[in-house]
């Protein structure tokens, strides 16, 4: 955690240390370019004002930095914030003509979408629509991701302010839990399938580390390069049943477990210390695994859950 925090701190210091004159010059520049997460060079001549994000985190973050008025539609799963839920919905598994008909000047995706539905993206690009792929695979990449969204929409100042507040809050949470000596050993369940957990570079793993928890699956290997999901298995989980102080269940599309009863129905799970002591937290995947500013809510929930007598909300 210390190394990652140091990198983020240094990068922010360097980014925000430019003079007002340099900031003004940067704002007046045209043709600013960056490489997106599919390896394409994206050149921004002017802010985009008709945007369709096909990933809910993109939509949420655009609204967070004050660019919500430029969003003219979103993915069918996007329900937050409330304004976004009212917009037209699109699905990259469907017909690209629905998006083309809306005449966007920018469609935001993530690498998974281009890999899984390449023909859909090709049709959008054939229609002359710029498609930009962004996805931060770790907390260390979050700032860069947000600043690219800001560059695309002309909201650099707003993004900078949000990022400073974001890191300040995370630093405070980490500081509040730094002196804990009786650290809790945690298992984080990402999906019920094979009792999968999260990879070491994932947002949930970073949250556990930041609040001074011990991730029992800290060395789990991701299912594929860049994935936040990592296999663990019931056998290994039950071998450590006596040492697991806290059990965290991520709830969302990939995990439907909702109650303690759902967990206790699984063979051998009644032997897990955390379940026996009713030390289980069910947490919305949108606030702990999704790269948005609401990540702070997820970190806060975990800190309060692990150390209720120490952590001050």
Task: Give pLDDT tens digits for 44-102.
Answer: 999 999 999 999 999 999 999 999 999 999 999 999 999 999 999 999 999 999 999 99
pLDDT-derived band at 312, boundaries 50, 70, 90: low
Task: Give pLDDT tens digits for 213-234.
Answer: 999 999 998 888 778 899 998 9
Q: What is the predicted pLDDT for the residue at 21?
A: 43
Q: What one-character DSSP code corresponds to residue 283?
A: E
Give domain 29-154's CATH architecture. 3-Layer(aba) Sandwich (3.40)
Mean predicted confidence (pLDDT) in 18-26:
43
172 or 195: which carries more pLDDT confidence? 172
Radius of gyration of the chain (CA): 21
* Third-level CATH fold of 181-306: Rossmann fold (3.40.50)
CA distances from 74 to 12, 131, 145, 262 (A): 30, 14, 19, 33
What is the location of CATH 3.40.50.1980 in the chain?
A: 29-154, 181-306
Give yes or no for residue 11 having a pLDDT over 60: no
Q: What is the predicted pLDDT for the residue at 300?
A: 96
Q: What is the predicted pLDDT for the residue at 57?
A: 97
Mean predicted confidence (pLDDT) in 276-280:
94
From the number of C-beta atoms within 10 Å of its C-beta (0-12, 13-18, 19+), residue 308 rates as: exposed
31 or 267: which carries more pLDDT confidence? 267
User: What's the pTM value of the predicted model, to 2 decimals?
Assistant: 0.87
Comparing C-alpha atoms, which of 285, 249, 301 is closest to residue 56? Answer: 285
Give yes or no for residue 295 having a pLDDT over 70: yes
Per the CB < 8 A criterion, the answer to whether 69 and 124 are in contact is no
């Amino acid at each position: 955690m210390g190394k990652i925090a140091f990198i983020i701190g240094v990068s922010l210091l360097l980014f925000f240390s430019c003079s007002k004159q340099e900031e003004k010059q940067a704002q007046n520049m045209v043709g600013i370019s960056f490489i997106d997460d599919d390896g394409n060079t994206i050149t921004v001549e002017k802010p985009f004002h008709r945007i369709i994000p096909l990933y809910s985190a993109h939509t949420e973050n655009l609204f967070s930095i004050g660019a919500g008025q430029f969003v003219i539609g979103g993915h069918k799963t996007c329900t937050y914030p409330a304004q976004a839920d009212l917009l037209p919905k699109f699905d990259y598994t469907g017909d690209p003509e629905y998006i083309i008909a809306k005449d966007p000047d920018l469609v935001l995706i993530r690498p998974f979408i281009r890999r899984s539905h390449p023909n859909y993206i090709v049709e959008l690009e054939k229609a002359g629509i710029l498609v930009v792929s962004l996805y931060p695979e770790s907390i260390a990449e979050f700032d860069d991701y947000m600043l690219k969204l800001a560059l695309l929409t002309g909201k650099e100042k707003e993004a900078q302010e949000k990022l400073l507040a974001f890191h300040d809050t995370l630093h405070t949470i980490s500081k509040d839990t730094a002196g804990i000596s009786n650290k809790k050993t945690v298992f984080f369940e990402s999906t019920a399938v094979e009792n999968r957990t999260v990879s070491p570079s994932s947002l949930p793993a970073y949250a556990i580390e930041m609040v001074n928890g011990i991730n029992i699956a800290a060395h789990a290997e991701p299912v594929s390069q860049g994935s936040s999901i990592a296999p663990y298995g019931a056998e290994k989980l039950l071998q450590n049943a006596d040492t697991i102080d806290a059990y965290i269940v991520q709830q969302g599309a990939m995990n439907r477990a909702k109650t303690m009863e759902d967990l206790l129905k699984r063979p051998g799970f009644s032997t897990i210390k955390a379940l026996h002591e009713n030390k289980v937290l069910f947490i919305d995947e949108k606030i702990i695994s999704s790269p948005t500013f609401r990540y702070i809510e997820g970190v806060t929930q975990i800190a309060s859950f692990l150390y209720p007598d120490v952590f001050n909300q």
